[in-house]
Structure 1
């Protein structure tokens, strides 16, 4: 007997999947057949999606609330659509886009229309993803020009750092002793001392 499955995807653990779950349950899909991943849609290497693939049988139906819940990579979506409909021979229903319902119009024209709509929507989803990345990069660049600094704040060197670094370079104390006097891990002391030597060499 054919079964109907639902798939939910949210991009991170702090996003709420309730809206998607309620929508799928309103389609009569029991919670035991609803699979959910909380991770990026850049590819389909997701634990619950892969587990669902193993459950699907010919004639089953997969429901998603929108095409971007299935994924966000244009080529990956098209390839996965082919796997589902051609290899797995399951039907797909995208709830917010009735044209993407492989149960209806299974003739050549219906298949052509569904494939065309899928390609357009998949392209739009990926294009928006790339636009978001571009806007983020532009925002970071603009912030850096304004003097905004990103990442951890660089702590100032201890006042006695140069003195103890010179003693170490002269062989008068060990690196461990110099680090102890500066109250910093030895690895940090060696890194800072090395970077200062490189800076001095570049200046010369």
Structure 2
């Protein structure tokens, strides 16, 4: 007996598996099972390498229907998406998309229909890659902007001591001075002295992130 499986993939907190399933049901799909990868990047990880995605290769049988929100759920880039779709079609598995309600299967033998189908697969895969690359570039631009305008978000809280105070504290700690005495001698907060004593490497890393 054939089955209809929805494969969902989410990689950010702005997406949910439940939302993708609700979209499929609203589009008229009767889903027998949902297989999903949560927190998995589709840009860097092939379907067969994802924890749940690889299950599809063992679970799907001839006559089954694989439903995805869009073809970008199936691969990292143009070549990956087209290879994945053609692999499943050769196995007799029908692939359907929620967006635009597209259907891809390997049953047709008419050369014209095959040509149209393959051209459409290529176009959709290329579009998916272009969208992924555009999103990646937008994210890079956003990160660069925030690094310039809100450096504390990416570098953490600015150290409450200078490089000179850090060096002085290190010397006094090595000499066996107490935290309170070091704080008084260097003008530092006692808690800052304790943090340096507990993990000097971490404290220095904070200075380096801020160029101190």
- Superposition TM-score, scaled by structure 1 size: 0.71
Q: 1:135 to 1:13 in 2, by over 3 A?
A: closer
Count of aligned positions: 189
Q: CA deviation at 1:152?
A: 0.7
Q: Is the 8 A contact 1:105 1:111 kept in 2?
A: yes
Equivalences for residues 1-204 of structure 1 within 5 A: 1-12=1-12, 15-25=15-25, 26-30=28-32, 33-38=33-38, 39-42=40-43, 43-44=46-47, 45-86=49-90, 88-102=91-105, 105-146=108-149, 148-149=151-152, 150-157=154-161, 161-167=166-172, 173=175, 181=182, 182-186=193-197, 188-189=199-200
Q: 1:183 to 1:118 in 2, by over 3 A?
A: same
Q: CA deviation at 1:162?
A: 4.1
Q: Cα deviations across residues 142-197 of structure 1 (Å, max 9, x unaligned)?
A: 444557442312212279644343456xxx715xx57894322446336767999x
Give 5+ residue unaligned stretches, structure 1: 199-204
- RMSD value, Cα: 3.5
- Superposition TM-score, scaled by structure 2 size: 0.69
Q: CA deviation at 1:98?
A: 4.5
Q: Is the 8 A contact 1:165 1:178 kept in 2?
A: no
Q: Cα deviations across residues 41-100 of structure 1 (Å, max 9, x unaligned)?
A: 2221222222232111122221223223334522221221122112x3312122333554
Mapped to 1, the partners of 2:116 and 2:79 lie a distance apart of 18
Q: Is the 8 A contact 2:195 2:203 kept in 1?
A: no
